[in-house]
Amino acid sequence: MSTPTPFQVAIEQSTINAILAKVKAYEWHEMPEIDPGADRWAYGADMEYMKELCAYWVDAFNWRAAEAKLNAFPQFKTTIETQEIHFYHVKGSGNAPQPVILTHGWPGSVFEFLDVIDLLAHPENHGGDAEDGLTLVIPSLPGYGFSGKPKKPLGPKRTAELWDKLMRETLGYDTYIAQGGDWGSVVSGSLAYNHGINKGGGCKAVHLNMWGIRPDTAPETDEEKAWAAAAAFDFEMEGAYLRLQMTKPQSLSYAMMDSPVGAAAWITEKFNGWSDTRGPSESHIENAYTKDQLLTNIMIYLATGTFNTATWFYRGMMEEGGSNMAPGDTLEIPTGFMRMPEEGKFISIPPRSMAEKAFNIIRWTEPSEGGHFAALETGSVFADDVRAFAKQVKG
Amino acid sequence: MTRPVIPADPFKIHVPDHEIADLKHRLEQTRLPNEPDGNEHWDYGTSLSYMERLISYWRDDFDWRKQEAWLNSFPQYKVSLTDDADQDHEVHFVYERGSGQNPIPLIMTHGWPSTFREFLDVVDRLAHPENYGRSGPAFDVIVPSLIGYGFSSLPRQPIGPAVMADLWHQLMTDVLGYDTYCAQAGDWGSFVTSRLALQHADAVRAIHLTMLPLRPNLRHESQPPITEEESTWIKEMRTWWAGEEGYRSIQSTKPMALAYAVMDSPAGLAGWLADKYYRLGDTDKSHTWEGMEARFPMDTILTQLSIYWFTGTINSANTLYKAGPAEGSALLKPGQQVTVPTAYSEYPMDTLPITPKSWAERSYNLKQFKVMDKGGHFAAMEESELFADDVRDAFSVLI
């Protein structure tokens, strides 16, 4: 166990220049003709939008400004059992701020949480009560962003073991709340399931905004069955990246590590597909994100050269034997679900009746807007829900 | 020998010097990924040590001009054809007339991730068997590039095998003047060829396949119940596919999520495709790269990759996986069967279970069923002598 070392993001200029040179030199090609009015993203990433994004990337995007934002909160690195972990550690206001570990997923990063840090840690700055302040720990998943690259794939169960050690042994928080979406929901679910205070671990409550850790309960009501059918259909149409990354991540990596525009398209397609892009007139990705937000997240993958190792997490999950609960098992730790309306359908949270069969649900919210990257898309909705959940846990 | 004039434009490949220089530049700039421990047998996908060898050979040793000259030693043409939806296509094809008075016209169709190059090692063997001490029939050999592949045109909107089959029929009849002809194929070519046999049964005399793409409609009364052998085979195939189908899954749903990277990075193109040659070829997998290079010499695989690269067709080629299923042409209608006499040869790919003969009989008028003792998915390249003899023998039986 090492003492955490303070860390700041400082990417070499030559790395940035090499990325931008390739973006600038990109030779656009054809894409299938899309009929007027039809979905321009039907085949994957829309080329018109990719051209626009890349023009902005070269002409206007300022990595140093993005880096300054990333460095606005205290960051550290520590090594837990050979795995180097990067994390934000922000102490909350008030007398006894509740520690919460927030975990991102793929293709996201710690950047997803930047806008909610101050809202959650220092509510008094935003018209709230300092006593509701939360102490935040926001790690980069192994193989992602500023964390170290593992030598071989590891998955959410193993990551949860590392997180429990990070919270209790490295940082000295005997108990904590876990929160996450995407892989973060699986890691957080695994903290609650395998490292709950009822099992000798430190996780005392969990707040999830994706259907990550899954019980083996069958759908029963019509509503549950409709949800399950939509999820299965959606998986056929939307689950290909997962099938690939779970089996042959290396065959994809040569292209994605060598082509910044290629990696940007692979990632942007997901941000478009899983987010609340609804707008007053028509759906558009920029109803959910600015180009600066999209590019900052993409640049974290590119500048650290972690596209490859990030995809390993899928294979790691498979090698761990999946992420489901054992048949018949339930999760006893108090659980909050935030069911976002525009979440990808195959990972969407089921009707409450179905979740209740296996979870000890103390909070269930269904916001009217937002999608998969909830903290990034709808920061205040996300922060209000997490804060309210922490208050409920406190009782 | 003077060739009769056909209504198509003679074609020679010529890649401009600056494109060759650009390829080398990109290879020099390649940023390689790391690799998980334990990837000696490509379990996580294309091996890094193989890729390092391939990139260095492509950059420093590969002589495109030499390969180009060899490709151009085969007579090639381009012709404009229009499909039923009024989309125009330019079809590139090799056309080698066979020896003797009555060579059999034979159209051979490649698949993915291959090109027309796949059949070039057998063109001469099939057209001029006497040069190889063989006495069987000679063939007029026609090897088109699939639409969206190699030197054929890119479709504005993707088209599937049923539409390509109609184009092939136009090529064989209207352009080349044959009333009847035979067809041979594997992979996507076997979809096109099966559709050709279904849609133009009067003109197609016989087909030889190395893959069976059509699915029988099991609900029809003509279909006997699934046998135990078939049921075991289906289960084994599903298990195998679960580990291998990631590429298919992406290409059939989101080809434009992948396109930007593989169109930009020659190393990325190689990494995406090499895995398929390793896995589907009859390669010795006991060593990370020796077996692969023995089966597919660098010059061979890099000619294939260079055709994709210089023609900029990996995106349109991948998109066939979306256009094919969208066409819905692989599932036979209840009671429907390919009536054209069919020979099937299975070239083993070590990890794949052998197809039951009864399965082949459900969809095809099967006259011959052979399991070869070596070969693999790219048999015409891998075992050209064995493959040419197999094809020649099959059509001797079929017609």
Q: How far is CA B139 from CA B7, B318, B368, in A?
A: 20, 31, 20
Interface membership of B20 toward A (CB under 8 Å): no
pLDDT at B313 over 80: yes
* Residue B376 · residue B281 · CB < 8 Å: yes
Computed on alpha carbons and rounded to an integer, the radius of gyration of chain B in Å comes to: 20
B 316-335 residues inside an 8 A Cβ radius of A: 316, 319, 322
User: Between B37, B45, B256, which is nearest A44 by CB?
Assistant: B256
Predicted pLDDT at B1: 43
Average of per-residue pLDDT across B307-333: 95
CB pairs under 8 A between A and B: 189
Chain A residue with Cα closest to B243? A247
Statement: residue B222 has pLDDT above 90: no
Check whether A120 has a pLDDT greater than 90.
yes
pLDDT, tens only, B294-309: 999 999 999 999 999 9
Mean pLDDT, rounded, for B346-370 = 92
Tens digit of pLDDT for each residue in B91-103? Answer: 999 999 999 999 9
Residues of chain A with Cβ-Cβ distance to B275 below 8 Å are: 248, 251
Q: What is the mean pLDDT of residues A117-136?
A: 98
Between the alpha carbon of residue A125 and those of residues A8, A101, A129, B373, the distances in Å are: 25, 21, 9, 75
Q: Nearest CA to CA, how far is B239 from chain A (Å)?
A: 12
Section A29-34 average pLDDT: 93
Nearest residue of chain A to residue B269 (CA atoms): A255
pLDDT attached to residue B371: 96
**Nearest CA-CA distance, residue B131 and chain A, Å:** 41
- The answer to whether the CB of B160 falls within 8 A of the CB of B323 is yes
Q: Are A244 and B29 in contact (CB < 8 Å)?
A: no
Measured distance between the N- and C-terminal CA atoms of chain B, rounded to whole angstroms = 29
Backbone angles phi, psi at A101, to 5 degrees: -105, 120
Q: Hunting for tokens 């029988």 — which residue is that?
A: B216
Give the model's pLDDT for residue B349.
Answer: 80
For residue B37, which residues of chain A lie inside 8 Å, CB to CB?
A: 151-152
Task: Determine the 3-state secondary structure of B182 from DSSP.
Answer: strand
pLDDT in tens, B249-296: 999 999 999 999 999 999 999 999 999 999 999 999 999 999 999 999
Mean pLDDT for the stretch of residues A295-302: 98
CB atoms within 10 A of CB A147: 24
Separation CA B361–CA B223 (nearest Å) = 10
Place of tokens 């151009």: B72
Cβ–Cβ gap A151/B245 under 8 Å: no
ipTM at complex level: 0.95
Q: Which residue of B has its CA nearest to A247?
A: B243
Question: How close is the nearest chain B Cα to the Cα of A329, in Å?
Answer: 27
| Cα-Cα-Cα-Cα dihedral sign, residues B167, B172, B174, B175 | positive
The pLDDT of residue A127: 96
Would you call A43 and B322 a contact, using CB atoms and an 8 Å cutoff?
A: yes
Residue A254's pLDDT is what? 98
Residues 6+ apart with CB under 8 A from B342: B197, B206, B207, B208, B209, B360, B364, B365, B366, B367, B368, B398
Burial of B59 (0-12, 13-18, 19+ CB in 10 A): middle
Does the CB of B51 have a partner CB in chain A at under 8 Å?
Answer: yes
Q: Do A251 and B31 touch (CB under 8 A)?
A: no
Mean pLDDT of A259-287: 96
Model confidence band, residue B348 (pLDDT cutoffs 50, 70, 90): confident
What does the pLDDT read at residue B350? 64
* B64 Cβ neighbours under 8 A, 6+ residues apart: B15, B20, B306
Q: Lay out the sheet containing A98-103: strands in order across.
A: A5-7, A75-80, A83-90, A134-139, A98-103, A176-180, A203-208, A331-338, A359-365
> Could you count the other beta carbons within 10 Å of the beta carbon of residue A8?
11
**Both tokens of residue A241?**
């990246």
HEC string of chain A equals: CCCCEEECCCCCHHHHHHHHHHHHCCCCCCCCCCCCCCCCCCCECCHHHHHHHHHHHHHCCCHHHHHHHHCCCCEEEEEECCEEEEEEEECCCCCCCEEEEEECCCCCCHHHHHHHHHHHHCHHHHCCCHHHCEEEEEECCCCCCCCCCCCCCCCHHHHHHHHHHHHHHHCCCCCEEEEECCHHHHHHHHHHHHCEHHHCCCEEEEEECCCCCECCCCCCCHHHHHHHHHHHHHHHHHCHHHHHHHHCHHHHHHHHHHCHHHHHHHHHHHHHHCCCCCCCCCCCHHHCCCHHHHHHHHHHHHHHCCHHHHHHHHHHHHHCCCCECCCCCCEEEEEEEECCCCCCHHHCCCCHHHHCCCEEEEEEECCCCCCCCHHHHCHHHHHHHHHHHHHHHHC
Closest residue of chain B to A31, computed from CA coordinates: B256
CA distance B126 to chain A (A): 36
CB contact under 8 A, B261 and A261: yes
For the cut 80, the answer to whether the pLDDT of residue B3 exceeds it is: no
3-class secondary-structure state, position B173: helix
Q: What would the pLDDT profile of A140-157 be if each residue is shown by its tens digit?
A: 999 999 999 999 999 999
pLDDT value, residue B362: 96
Residue linked to tokens 């550290």 = A76
Q: Which of B122, B116, B129 is nearest to B77 (CA)?
A: B116
Contact B157 A32 (CB under 8 A): yes
Looking at chain B from residue 211 to 250, which residues have their Cβ under 8 Å from any Cβ of chain A?
242-247, 249-250
Residue B183's identity, in one-letter code, is A
- Probe site for chain B from A253, A267, A302, A304 (most B CB atoms < 10 A): A253
pLDDT in tens, B203-214: 999 999 999 999
For B70, the token pair is: 């060899």
Binding-face residues of B in 119-178 toward A, CB within 8 A: 154-158
**pLDDT tens, B164-181?**
999 999 999 999 999 999
Torsional sign, CA A336, A339, A345, A351: positive
Separation between Cα atoms, residue B278 and residue A345, nearest integer Å: 35
Reported as a pLDDT band with limits 50, 70 and 90, residue B221 is confident
Query: Do the chains contact at A250 and B33, CB–CB below 8 Å?
Result: yes
Query: Which of A236, A250, A258 comes nearest B39 by C-beta?
Result: A250
Q: Which residues contact A127 (CB under 8 A, 6 or more apart)?
A: none
Cβ atoms within 10 Å, residue A158: 21
**Chosen from B22, B239, B254, B305 to mutate, greatest number of chain A CBs within 10 A:** B254
Fill in the DSSP letter of residue B44: T
- Residue A152, classified by CB atoms within 10 Å of its CB into exposed (0-12), middle (13-18) or buried (19+), is middle
Give B39 to chain A, closest Cα distance, Å: 9
Q: What is the DSSP letter of B245?
A: T
Q: Is the pLDDT of residue A391 over 80?
A: yes
- Residues from chain A that touch B42, judged by Cβ atoms under 8 A, are 250
Q: Name the minimum distance, in Å, from the CA of A379 to any CA of chain B.
A: 28
pLDDT at B2: 47
